[in-house]
Each structure stands twice: as structure tokens, then as C-alpha cells.
Amino acid sequence: NQPATGTQRGRVVVASELGYCWGVRRALDIIQDAAGRSGPVAPIGDVIHNPQVVERLRARGVEGAATVADAVSRGFARVAITAHGMGPHLAEQAASAGVELVDTTCPLVTKVQRLAQKLVRQGYYLVVYGDTDAFAGKIRIELSDPFEVGLGFKVEYFNIGSAWNSI
């Protein structure tokens, strides 16, 4: 192929499905295996932001729920943490509801969460930047609550979503 010139037009090809990182691939493998072995499971939030994959998962008994209580009310006996990770509150809610918890948290997310906990224990002030409307941003806020209570520190969260998107 020759590069487009002023007189030539390039061609845009849109893929029917987009790819995803290895952490999401790992989460998909875990959740599909869990559903295949033991039946339906409800991830709390989206496992992946891809409608084709979500539809295939639904056919295998994997259907997202907003909360543990939502999953339980719809008859699920198992819930899952997505690759994005969750705060410790989700494990507590699952245990209180008597449902099994499947953890598909990306190891890189877990590493960052542990590093944040370590830094806070060392006396550092944690500042989280991101879009508070994004799912990952909400998780970080939820993750901060146990730190604030358990370790006595203040978490500052700056919403840069709209400013960041306009750059």
C-alpha cells in the first residue's frame, strides 16, 4: 500500500470486535471457567465493555449485576469481582449474603492496591486522579474508605474527567 496523497483517499476499516488487555482476557477465562464448572455467576459491574462478548457470556450464564443484593435478588448464588478490582466491602457483602465470591481482579490492579495500602501505612497522603464517573474511579473511591477508617488518613480525589477529555 502506498501512503495517501492529496489526490488519494485512505480506507478506514472498523473491526467488528475490539481487543482487550491480558488482565481482561484472564478475567474472561476465569469467569467462563467458573460458569462452565458450577453454573451461573453475576459479576458486579461489567466484565468487559464489549457488547458481543457480553452477549456470549450471558448465553453461558454470566450476567452482570449492580450490587451483591441485586445478584441475590435475581437468584444468583455466586458473584464475581471484575478485572478492575473492588474494595474489601464486596467480599464482606458476599459473605453476609451467603454467596460464593469469584475474584477475577487483574494482578496489576492488585499490585497497585497493595502498593497504595503500603504507602498509606508508611504515612503517605494518597491522592487519586481520575474521572469520578468512571467505574474504575468509583472503585478507587470505595477502596479508599477502609483505609480512611482503618488507618486514619484522608483520601483526596480529584475529578479530572471532563477537563481531561477536552485536552
Residue 66 has pLDDT above 80, yes or no: yes
**pLDDT for res 162:** 43
- Summarised one tens digit per residue, pLDDT across range 75-105 is 999 999 998 888 778 889 999 999 999 999 9
Q: Where are the beta strands (DSSP E) in the chain?
A: 42-43, 78-81, 100-103, 127-130, 156-159
Backbone angles phi, psi at 21, to 5 degrees: -70, 170
Residue 147 has pLDDT above 60, yes or no: no
